[in-house]
Structure 1
Amino acid sequence: MSVDTMIAQMERWLGTGEPNEIQAWYRARNGAAYSGNFAWCNATITRAAVDAGEYDSVCFGIDFAYTVAHAARFKEAGAWHAMTNGIKGSGIKRGDIVFFDWDGSSEIAKVDHVGIVTGVSADYQYVYTIEGNTANVCARRARVVHDIAGFGRPKYKTPPKPPASSSGTKRPQVSLSKLVAAFKRDAPKKGMPVSYPLVEVVEDALVAERLLARKYADGHAGTATRSAYALLQERYGYSGDDADGIPGMTSLKRLGKAHGFDVVA
């Protein structure tokens, strides 16, 4: 068991709407007080922890639906870290249980929401997460420091590893030459041809960066994908011909470092 197992369990629920199995499962364990369509962000963390064999490390052997109580339990255990030094200064990392206050405080009593950290952007502007009950579904999000109250650091049974796929296989190897060919070939075509399957890996990263709508992450390097990559290049400081939406080695490696894939020629 490890942080990767915990994240893999959270990934199982991606796309889940409401009402859902998580709510029914939590209600069966904790009674009628949780009838109806109750807020289920922390119930998702609890369910994933149970299924991952990390119930004690993540939840201290307690079912949590109330985010304030969960954050307070991390503090009691000496494992709470308030978000007062920025993303880089905080040391937040993959596997941490992250708590949010939409009003921007670091006070446990004002915590509104919870998720798990899957990574941090290379420029420390975003914390990438999986969260239950975000816009009524379980989804990946990219969060900024203002929204993060703090995080709890579980004592996982096995130390965290570098990001990998949930199946345990090695990180995707994205070919720059094949990707560039797809970006140039696919955009003008009608329909959704997929000339290079790993385009979708890059599109998933662009979705996480909040530059591409999820509906366009379909493996087709269309105009929406190219426009999103151009926005990424501008974010990285490129302009003019260097921000034309065609991936380059430097920008792609930077994106891959933040989102769990490697780049080859």
Structure 2
Amino acid sequence: MSVDGMIKAMERWIGTGEPNAVQEWYRQRNGADYAYNFPWCNATITRAAVEAGEYESVCFGTDYAYTVAHAARFNAAGQWTAMNNGIAKSGIRRGDIVFFDWGGSSEIGKIDHVGIVTSVSGGYVYTIEGNTANVCARRVRTVREIAGFGRPKYKPAAPTAGSSSGSKRPQVSLSKLIQAAKIDPPKKGTPVSYAGVKTVEQALVAEKLLSAGYADGHWGTATLSAYSLYQQRLGFHGTQPGGDADGRPGRTTLTKLGKAHGFTVTS
């Protein structure tokens, strides 16, 4: 979805207080260690990245609640800039993941907080941040507060109407997926699966519901179980065949998954 998609996903959470859906979502994915009113600034970045289809570029395929670990990952990837030479010279820009140290250092180990840059003007950096005064809100920051920033390798922006350049969103046929989900699980003979199956499996991997090793283009039992978990996460029930959470895709759940991970659902 690109930079704009990531920022739009963050804007969705503006005004959110606590406890909130971001915390509950993160808790469901990461367990009882988060069964309290934990600091959720980086969990908001993680949630927005998943929604925007930028989970790999922003989070390197890992959920983050701990800001130090997230900044360290950018550093390990060679995508980190310490804020030790002023805002203008740093090159900080829209879409960068910006990390803060309230003590004024540029040390990763002392980072306290995180947000996303929406714009830069003169000596001011404009952001959206989760868990700032217990809400998600827009803020204006100065060099004194910024420890540094990570620069995600965002997907290219989608082409505008009438443009012949750029990559198109993958299209996934619901009817073909349903056929695959009915026939493939026993994994006997030649599967009916097609490229769209792998697209959906990769989205389930990003949702941390399917092991990457099973994203093979075959709607086997692992994929069936993973999609059932996704349906249950959205509030559907009934895991037996014919139930609303039986692992066979429906238009509502598939459309939601596509919006979060960059594919379009067709008939």
TM range (shorter): 0.5 to 0.7
3-state SS of paired residue (2:114): strand
Give SS of 1:141's match.
strand
Aligned to 2:56: 56
> C-alpha distance in 2, partners of 1:128/1:67?
19
156, 173, 196: which one pairs with 1:158?
156
Q: Aligned partners of 1:80 and 1:92: how far apart in 2?
A: 11
CA distance in structure 2 between the aligned counterparts of 1:159 and 1:104, rounded to whole angstroms:
35
Task: Give me the whole-angstrom Cα distance separating, in 2, the residues matched to 1:29 and 1:148.
Answer: 29
Give the letter for the 2:23 counterpart. Answer: Q
Note closer, same or farther for the CA distance 1:143–1:160 as it changes in structure 2 (3 Å cut): farther
Q: CA deviation at 1:159?
A: 5.8
After TM superposition, the structure 1 = structure 2 runs for residues 209-224 of structure 1, keeping only pairs within 5 Å, are: none
Cross-structure match for 2:114: 114
Q: Would the alpha carbon gap of residues 84 and 160 (structure 1) be closer, same or farther in structure 2, given more than 3 Å must change?
A: farther
Q: Deviations over 1:83-121 (max 9, x none)?
A: 011000000000000000001000000000000000011
Q: How far 1:59 sits from its partner (Å)?
A: 0.1
Q: Matched residues, percent identical?
A: 76
Q: Give the Cα separation in 2 of the matches to 1:86 and 1:37.
A: 35
What is residue 149 of structure 1 aligned with on the other side?
147
SS in 2 for 1:26: helix
1:199-238 matches, cutoff 5 A: none
- Which blocks of at least 5 consecutive residues in structure 2 are unaligned? 160-267
Aligned pair in 2 of structure 1 residues 96, 60: CA closer, same or farther (>3 Å)? same
Distance apart, 1:36 and its partner CA: 1.1
Cα deviation for residue 160 of structure 1 reads 11
**Residue type of the partner of 1:156?**
Y
**Equivalent position amino acid for 1:152 in 2:** G
Question: What is the number of equivalent residue pairs in this alignment?
Answer: 159
**Counterpart code for 1:12:** R
* In 1: Cα distance, 2:78 partner to 2:36 partner: 34
Return 5+ residue gaps in structure 1 as ranges: 162-265
Equivalent residue, structure 1, for 2:105: 105
Residue 125 of structure 1: how far off its partner (Å): 1.5
Runs of 4+ with >2 A deviation: none
CA distance in 2, matches of 1:160, 1:49: 17
Give, in whole Å, the separation in 2 of the partners of 1:146 and 1:24: 33
TM-score by length of 1: 0.59
Checking the alignment, whether the CA contact within 8 Å between 1:130 and 1:140 is kept in structure 2 is yes
Render the CA deviation track for 1:17-56: whole Å, top value 9, x for unaligned: 0000000000000000001100000000000000000000
**Aligned residue in 2 for 1:9:** 9
Q: CA deviation at 1:158?
A: 1.4
Partner Cα distance (1:51, 1:9) in 2: 6
SS of residue paired to 1:154 = coil
Say what the alpha-carbon RMSD is for the aligned residues.
1.3
